[in-house]
Chains A and B, each alone.
Chain A
Amino acid sequence: MSRDLPSWAQSTKKKKRPRLTLLNDLLDALSATLQRRRPGGVPPNPVPARQLWPRAERPGRHLTLRLLALRFDIELVGDDSLTGLRRPFVLAANEQGVLDLQLLRMAMPSQLRPTNIALSRALARGRNVIVFTDEPAAGRQVGEFSDVAAGLASQHNVAVVPVGLVGTFKLKELLKLPLRARPKVSIRFGAPLYPRGRGLQDATAELQRNVEQLVHEGELSWWTVERRRTGSPSPHGAEPAPRWRRLWDQAAPPADTRARIWR
């Protein structure tokens, strides 16, 4: 070291010890609250603005989802799409079975749970709502959306989040069977759409395509889905199939990825 530091420029070697500051701070807090001091010439306190609902957070592994995971092999795909979304919003999902709504509600944290009753009023009060497709036609997995979802979103200037539900078909009946494996359920969230300023038919058609893509191509990445959507309006795998094939595919065992030394 060639610089000549002053002799008092020594590092502090003393180890900091735990201290009790809480009592003094609480006394200070109490006296400051009782005896409010306000300097002169400061701007007035802010007028409380109309309370906006905070932006949505990613659902994460909350309690009800953990409970749900005891009975179902449940996966949430693309739930990061909800991050930062302004609440409330409209969820638009494909109807598969009678447990769809209950499953979706339990899979989401309490502040994001949607309702399907009095939709417009619920949106006005800041609650998320859900709109399902009609019953799918024979041989198809995804039914048709009415223009309710896009209409509500346009009217209230909120986003529509497409949701693809996979694995909930005949789930109530499946749960009655003496199965050793937990039924697989996949809930897939897509990129939010903003129908405000667009035609209802156009927005509904895009919503329909998005939900079909989510149901059929949930394993592919968002960017691939986005590109395919522009290339081919009819999604791959949407061709009619017998009902047993849906259950067969749904019940397919997961691929065994464990390393084996013999086969």
Chain B
Amino acid sequence: MPRPGFVLEVDDKTPHLLTMSGAQLRLERFGIGTQVVYTADAEESSDPVGLIEAAVGAPTGGAPLAEQLSPGMKLTLVIIDQDAPLPRPHFDPRRALTERVLEIAARRGVDDVELVVANGLKQRWSTQQVSRALGDRVATSFLPDSLISSHDVTSDDLVSIGEVQGFPVLLNRRVAQSDVVVVIGVRADASEHDPLAVGLTDLATLDRLLGFDPAPGFAEGVSDLIRGAVEPFALFAVLGQPLLAWSLRFLATREWEWKLTDRLALAGSRQIIAALPRQGAQLVNGNPRADYAVIDVVGGGYASSLSDSLGVWQAANSVEVNGSADVLVTSVWGPAVDAVDSIGSPLDVAHHALVRRAGSHLAKPLAREGGALIAFHPLRNRFSNRRQSAAADFFAKVLTETTDAGEIAARFQARAMDDEWYLDLYRKNFADHPLRVYQLWYETARAAEQFSEIIWVGGDRRCAALLGHRSATTYADALEIASGTVGMHPSITMLRGPGLVLGDVR
């Protein structure tokens, strides 16, 4: 059992604390009285086969999986892609889950088996991604016969399963026509989105679900409709905090517990990045893999597994925080934002800071209404030509016109959704669907409304201005800027480390 997370109140004996800014690592002095939220300890994973056997053999609210399978039936494994954690897992639990389910299916004589990746608006999986996430055994067994497919939200082959509020809802054909559907996913955050609704439906439904102004009750209606149509068996692995390789292990260790080797590793990493400003960041932070302890595997009915997995993750990762702060401070580490790039694009970075980190709390927010957010990131104007073409154009052409989400939805979204180039990149070149950029911005804009100031320490001034935020050279400058709205003696809460914490604000 790992040590739970806790809140450190900075005093005069507190050493300088680690902050991450894109690929940069530095030690920063924080003012006395700052509340620093530490995540639970990261631990090495163990082979989760025992947990999987228990979840499959004694699921909650239903018969064991083996009893639900019989020869001649149509079985589909849905691999959830929405909540895959970053940095990407060294041992992806979805692989172990998939292999165990397939072994049971083989033992029960099920021949008609296919795998569908519920990627929704995210990029469709390349063969390399399939091998990386699900392992060689699954890839070599199913890829040559095209039995692993990624869901295409623009496909003409989706089938209608009913209507919600007068709008038809289309679902992936293979999933809709299967006798048994097994959903396989991981739980690494407190997201309450329904991964099947977000991952396997059509474009129009997704636009209504996560668009600028989602209709009340529509998401619940879609979830109920899907559960009525397919009644899936679900398996979710609940993950702990990321444990990085030896060279970066100090990121998840508390500063006063650092050994000399940790300090030398930090010094070495900093020097590599400083000596090679372009390549060093990629060398140190380029696509690292982290080990995540599998806390539990929850199996059974889809709805109960989804809520149970959320409960387990909350129990393992929540930290009690004393009151909403005036200023919330967070690091943004590149590899936790983008799986490939060591720094991350400004749109992804803003979403990560405002939605994923600042938004990871129970009922009460980490920062009070009208407070300030200070984030550490250089905000470079970096976009991949292939993967992020729509995001690059959004940043260069849409945000230069307006940052207002309503205006963007009315003036620009429809044009981007019909753009042949973006759609071609989505269908053939493993890029995100253009609608995803817009939906991320709507979420970011909604989260930003809570703050009176959003200040990027070390951020590019033009990028920050385009996002509608501000930039400061140092942390002290950022506090001085924020003092205009939160006063000269604000209460400050800082989120420390690369992992996500769930703030239980009292």
Contact = CB atoms under 8 A, between A and B. Distances in A.
Interface of A: 1-3, 5-6, 8-12, 15-22, 25-26, 28-29, 32-33, 36-43, 45-46, 52, 54-55, 78, 80-81, 83-86, 159, 191, 194, 221-224, 226-227, 229-231
Contacts of B466: 3, 5, 9
22 contacts: A2-B401, A3-B400, A3-B402, A18-B274, A20-B274, A22-B268, A26-B264, A28-B27, A28-B267, A37-B15, A43-B6, A55-B44, A55-B46, A78-B136, A159-B49, A194-B49, A221-B141, A222-B138, A223-B102, A224-B141, A226-B102, A227-B111
Interface string B473-490: 000000000000000000
Contact of A11 (B99, B268, B461): B461
Contacts of B274: 18-21
A85 to B, nearest CB: 6
Shortest 6 CB-CB distances between A and B: which pairs? A223-B141, A29-B263, A9-B465, A25-B267, A226-B106, A80-B136
B400 A39 contact: no
B461 A12 contact: yes
A222 B44 contact: no
Contacts of A5: 462, 465-466
A9 B102 contact: no
B270 interface: yes
A6 B465 CA distance: 8
B67 to A, nearest CB: 16
B135 A159 contact: no
A156 B63 CA distance: 30
B445 to A, nearest CB: 15
B231 interface: no
B95 interface: yes
B458 to A, nearest CB: 10
Given A22-B267, A227-B111, A1 B401 contact: yes
A25 B271 contact: yes
A40 B46 contact: no
Interface stretch (B199-207, B219-227, B254-262, B336-344): B254-262
Interface in B446-501: 460-466
A43 B46 contact: no
Contacts of B107: 226, 230
B270 A222 contact: no
Given A25-B271, A45-B257, A40 B464 contact: no
B14 A37 contact: yes
B178 to A, nearest CB: 17
A85 B268 CA distance: 32
Interface in B1-44: 3, 6, 8-11, 13-15, 27, 41, 44
A9 B11 contact: no
B271 A21 contact: yes
Contacts of B46: 52, 55, 86
A29 B102 contact: no
B469 to A, nearest CB: 11
B13 A38 contact: yes
B91 A223 contact: no
A5 B462 CA distance: 8
A222 B381 contact: no
A17 B6 contact: no
Contact of A83 (B106, B135, B140): B135
Contact of A9 (B142, B381, B462): B462
Given A29-B260, A191-B99, 15 more contacts: A2-B401, A3-B399, A3-B401, A5-B466, A9-B466, A21-B267, A22-B267, A22-B268, A28-B263, A37-B13, A39-B10, A221-B141, A222-B138, A222-B140, A230-B107
B47 A84 contact: yes
Contacts of A3: 399-403, 466
B175 interface: no
Contact of B137 (A33, A81, A86): A81
B96 A84 contact: yes
Contact of B256 (A25, A36, A226, A227): A36
Contacts of B66: none
B315 interface: no
Contacts of B381: 11
Contacts of B266: 25, 29
Contacts of B461: 8-12
B141 A222 contact: yes
A84 B44 CA distance: 11
Contacts of B95: 84
B19 to A, nearest CB: 15
Contacts of B460: 11-12
Interface in B92-121: 95-96, 99, 102-103, 106-109, 111, 113
A11 B137 contact: no
Contacts of B264: 26, 29
A2 B465 CA distance: 14
A113 to B, nearest CB: 19
A26, A38, A42, A52 pick with most chain B CB within 10 angstroms: A42
B496 to A, nearest CB: 13
B8 A39 contact: yes
B417 to A, nearest CB: 22
Given A39-B256, A85-B47, A20 B111 contact: no
Contacts of B463: 11
A123 B501 CA distance: 38
B276 interface: yes
A36 B14 CA distance: 10
B277 interface: yes
Contacts of B3: 43, 46
Contact of B8 (A26, A42, A229): A42
A187 to B, nearest CB: 15
A40 to B, nearest CB: 6
Contacts of B399: 3
Contact of B103 (A85, A191, A231): A191
Contacts of B254: 42
A229 B271 CA distance: 56
B393 to A, nearest CB: 14
